[in-house]
Amino acid sequence: MSQYEVTFAGFGGQGIMTAGQLLAYAGIEEGKQVAWIPSYGPEMRGGTAYCTVVISDHRIGSPIISNPRCACVFNRPSFDKFTPRIKPGGLVIINSSLINVTTDRTDIDRILIPANDIAIKAGNPKAANVAVLGAFVAATRIVKLETVKQVIKEKMARKKSMLEMNYRVLEEGRKLAMDSLKGRKVKV
Partner 1 sequence: MAVDNKTVFDRPVALRDVVTHYCPGCTHGVIHRIVSEVLDELGLRERTCGVAPVGCSVLCYNYYNCDFMEAPHGRAPALATGFKRMRPDMIVFTYQGDGDLASIGMGEIVHAANRGEKFTTIFVNNAIYGMTGGQMAPTTLQGQVTTTCPVGRDTSMTGQPIRMAELLSALATPAYIERVAVHHPKYILQAKKAIRKAFRLQRDNKCYTLIEVLSTCPTNWGNTPGEATEWLDDNMMKYFPLGCYKDFQEDDSGS
Partner 2 sequence: MAKVLMKGNEAIAEAALRAGAEGYFCYPITPQTEVAEYLSKRMPEVGGVFLQGESELAVANMLFGAASTGKRIFTTSSSPGISLMQEAISYMAGAELPAVIINIMRGGPGLGGILPAQSDYFQAVKGGGHGDYRVLVLAPSTVQEAVDLTMLSFHLADKYRNPVMLIGDGMIGQMMEAVEFPDDYQEPELPSSSEWAATGAEGREARIIKSLFLDPTGLEDNSWKLDRKYRQMIKEEVRSEKYKISKTNKVLIVAYGTMARICQTAIDELEEEGISVGLFRPISLFPFPEQEIFKEATKANIKSVLTIEMSTGQMVEDVQKVVQGKKPVEFYGRTGGIVPTPDEVKEQVRGIVSKKKTSGKSRKKT
Partner 3 sequence: MPGITIDKDHCKGCELCVQACPQRILAMSKDITVRGYYYAQLADPSRCIGCRICALVCPDVAIEVNTHGLMFELFDY
User: Using the rule CB under 8 A, is 46 a contact of partner 3?
Assistant: yes
Beta bridge partners of 54: 5, 35
First CA to last CA distance, the chain: 6
The listed partner (partner 3, partner 2, partner 1, none) that binds 87, CB under 5 to 8 Å by sort, is: none
Q: Which residues bind partner 1 (CB under 8 A)?
A: 42-47
Binder to partner 3 among 21, 75, 129, 147 (CB under 8 A)? 75
Helices (H) and strands (E) in the chain, counts: 6, 6
Closer to partner 1 by Cβ: residue 31 or 46: 46
Neighbours of 118 (CB within 10 A): 26
Judged by CB under 8 A, does residue 81 bind partner 3?
no
Answer with the entry of partner 2, partner 3, partner 1, none that 77 interacts with (C-beta below 5 to 8 A by kind). partner 3
Residue 46-85 contact track with partner 2, rule CB under 8 A, x = bound: -------------xxxxxx-x-------------------
The rounded distance, in Å, linking the Cα atoms of 27 and 54 is 9
Residue 37: helix, strand or coil by DSSP?
Answer: strand
Distance, CA of 131 to chain centre: 9
